[in-house]
Amino acid sequence: MTVSGGICLLLALMNVFKDDNEELIKVLGIIGLIINRFVLCCFWSIFYVYIAELFPTKVRSLAFGWASAVGTTGSTLSPYIIFFSKSYHIDSWILPGLIGLLSVVMLLKLP
């Protein structure tokens, strides 16, 4: 999650320099998006294995359901985050980056 949050903040930083070399920034942005998607897919794959080992058998299905519900909620809220960031003139990558870095802090509390 640290890598994903960092990539989001890096993409926001790249948008600051978009006027200098627009084509290069666009290519680097696409590469950053591909790497970020790969990192997030790896994170969720590892997270589901972690959930299977973390919880006892009796509540394991509840933990999988909770993780899926939170993931679905996040994907449902993403258009609203983009709308919020555009309405307040914030780069659309800053909020996902900050949420990713905040989730790292919360993940550190897991056993």
Question: What residues does each domain of the chain span?
Answer: 2-107
pLDDT in tens, 96-111: 888 888 888 888 887 7
pLDDT in tens, 2-60: 888 888 888 888 887 777 788 888 888 899 889 999 998 898 888 888 888 888 888 88
Read off the tokens for 47: 């997270």
DSSP codes, 25-71: HHHHHHHHHHHHHHHHHHHHHHHHHHHHHHS-HHHHHHHHHHHHHHH
Q: What is the SS3 assignment for 79? A: helix
pLDDT in tens, 58-105: 888 898 888 889 888 988 988 898 888 889 988 888 888 888 888 888
Helix, strand, coil share of the chain (percent; to 5): 85, 0, 15
